């Protein structure tokens, strides 16, 4: 190996060893120096850089205690969170298959007529008994007047029959008095006839006088019979008058019932709210002709509750009276307290249009759900309750701890 070759190799290895490359003038000066003979050595030559470089002292190995502590804190927080969640989940039964329910009262017309006024708008808050719609009552007022006249006539007939009853009773009393008066005359005629009968046998009186006393007795007896028959007729008249009075009173009741029906018809011209709540589905306008049973709007009751459909394997620890936390999707960030009120007597599938029949065909077990009624607390703010409407989705969590 020649020096040039060794120099060229050194020059090539110099950048790799971290040495600085000689400048061109230094290289030219080195080339001008006489070359020394090359001596072979037993050990391979080592090429040092032109300028020595201080060797870097290795740093002692240090543990990253900050990262270790941070990781331990994060791990502890995760473990605590998982444990807390497991602890809480073990004491609650939850489901998101739940919704708000409430009474929706359909409002319909009870008579036929023309709408005169509509007093409410959609979504308006109404009170129980508040007028909603008014129907023109002109025709019904005329019918009411006719029913009033019929009632007055029936009462007059009843009064007339009552007078006939009083007259019949008076006739009976008069007939009784005449019978008593005639009984005295009949008694005297009988006494006179018996005396005449004894005297005529002794020829003390003439035959003519005897016949006159007999005739007087017969006349008294006939008058007595006539008077008794008259009293019987008067009693029959009283019974007939009393029967007529019953008919007249029935007519009065019928007339009063017709008058009451007419009054109700007039009252039905004002459609009122059956419950406090909000108006929905208003479909009536002024001038519209309504028929009985035609829906005009609905009133959604202010009182709402929750129907939660729990799986059958969640019912083991559910009981009536347990506390519930209700979260409504439409009211974010607020939890409504409640209580379990009752359980449905059957699963939702049993009340469907086509209930399942597991005894037919192939059987595949499907977890059933049971509707559970949950009542919200009574002391909730009115502003919060105003935002709750039937049909809204909810998430319920029942404490079974």
> How are beta strands 277-280 and 335-343 bridged, if at all?
unpaired
Q: In this structure, what CATH number is given to the domain that contains residue 191?
A: 1.10.287
Helix (H) or strand (E) holding 200: helix 138-201
- Residue among 353, 332, 352 at smallest CA distance from 395: 332
> How are beta strands 335-343 and 270-272 bridged, if at all?
unpaired
Q: How far is CA 328 from CA 99, 314, 331, 336, 340, in A?
A: 8, 21, 5, 8, 17
Among 226, 250, 266, residue at a domain's last position:
266
User: For residue 194, what are the domain limits?
Assistant: 138-266
Q: In this structure, what CATH number is given to the domain that contains residue 345?
A: 2.40.30.170
> How are beta strands 289-290 and 369-376 bridged, if at all?
unpaired
CA 22, 23, 25, 31 dihedral sign is positive
How many domains are contained in the chain?
A: 2
Structure confidence at residue 374 (pLDDT): 95
pLDDT tens for 255-297 read 999 999 999 999 999 999 999 999 999 999 999 999 999 999 9
- CA angle (133, 139, 141) in 5-degree steps: 85
pLDDT tens for 109-145 read 999 999 999 999 999 999 999 999 999 999 899 998 9
Structure confidence at residue 222 (pLDDT): 80
3 state DSSP class of 91: coil
For 66, phi then psi, to 5°, come to: -65, -45
174 belongs to a structural domain = yes
d(CA 248, CA 228): 30
Tell me: do 154 and 261 sit in the same domain: yes
153 belongs to a structural domain = yes
4 belongs to a structural domain = no
d(CA 117, CA 20): 106
d(CA 399, CA 326): 11
272 belongs to a structural domain = no
Tell me: do 240 and 317 sit in the same domain: no
pLDDT bin (cut points 50, 70, 90) of residue 9 is: very low
Tell me: do 347 and 391 sit in the same domain: yes
pLDDT bin (cut points 50, 70, 90) of residue 17 is: very low
Among 249, 266, 283, residue at a domain's last position:
266
Tell me: do 311 and 224 sit in the same domain: no
If one compares 166 and 275, the residue with the highest pLDDT of the two is 275
Tell me: do 203 and 142 sit in the same domain: yes
Tell me: do 248 and 341 sit in the same domain: no
- CA angle (142, 143, 148) in 5-degree steps: 95
Tell me: do 308 and 260 sit in the same domain: no
Lowest mean pLDDT, pick from 157-171, 312-326, 368-382: 157-171
| Residue appearing with tokens 């559910």 | 318
CB 65 within 8 A of CB 31: no
330 belongs to a structural domain = yes
93 belongs to a structural domain = no
Tell me: do 151 and 223 sit in the same domain: yes
326, with CB counted inside 10 A (0-12, 13-18, 19+), is buried
d(CA 147, CA 162): 23
118 belongs to a structural domain = no
49 belongs to a structural domain = no
Tell me: do 154 and 257 sit in the same domain: yes
């Amino acid at each position: 190996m020649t020096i040039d070759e060794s120099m060229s190799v050194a020059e090539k290895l110099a950048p790799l060893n971290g040495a600085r490359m000689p400048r061109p003038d230094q290289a030219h000066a080195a080339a001008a120096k006489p070359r020394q003979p090359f001596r072979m050595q037993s050990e391979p030559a080592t090429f040092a850089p032109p300028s020595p470089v201080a060797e870097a002292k290795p740093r002692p190995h240090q543990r990253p205690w900050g990262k270790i502590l941070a990781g331990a804190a994060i791990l502890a927080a995760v473990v605590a969170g998982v444990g807390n969640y497991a602890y809480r989940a073990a004491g609650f039964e939850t489901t998101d298959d739940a919704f708000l329910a409430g009474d929706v009262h359909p409002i319909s017309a009870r008579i036929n007529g023309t709408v005169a006024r509509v007093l409410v708008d959609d979504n308006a808050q109404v009170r129980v008994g508040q007028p909603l719609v008014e129907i023109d009552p002109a025709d019904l007022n005329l019918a009411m007047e006719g029913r009033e006249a019929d009632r007055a006539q029936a009462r007059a007939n009843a009064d007339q029959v009552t007078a006939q009853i009083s007259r019949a009773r008076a006739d009976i009393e008069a007939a009784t008095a005449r019978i008593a008066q005639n009984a005295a005359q009949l008694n005297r005629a009988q006494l006179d006839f018996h005396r005449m009968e004894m005297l005529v046998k002794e020829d003390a009186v003439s035959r003519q006088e005897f016949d006159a006393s007999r005739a007087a007795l017969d006349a008294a007896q006939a008058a007595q019979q006539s008077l008794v028959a008259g009293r019987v007729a008067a009693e029959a008249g009283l019974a007939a008058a009393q029967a007529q009075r019953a008919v007249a009173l029935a007519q009065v009741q019928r007339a009063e019932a017709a008058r009451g029906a007419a009054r109700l018809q007039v009252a039905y011209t004002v459609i009122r709210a059956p419950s406090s709540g909000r108006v929905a589905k208003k479909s009536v306008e002024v001038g519209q002709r309504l028929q009985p049973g035609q829906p005009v709007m609905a009133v959604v009751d202010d009182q709402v509750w929750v129907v939660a459909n729990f799986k059958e394997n969640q019912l083991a620890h559910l009981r009536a009276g347990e506390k519930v936390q209700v979260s409504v999707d439409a009211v974010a960030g607020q939890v409504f307290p409640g209580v379990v009120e009752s359980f449905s007597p059957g699963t939702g599938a049993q009340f469907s249009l086509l209930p399942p029949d597991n005894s037919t065909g192939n059987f595949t077990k499907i977890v059933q759900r049971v509707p559970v009624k949950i009542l919200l607390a009574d002391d909730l703010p009115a502003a919060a309750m105003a935002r709750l409407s039937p049909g809204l989705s909810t998430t319920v969590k029942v404490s079974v701890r």
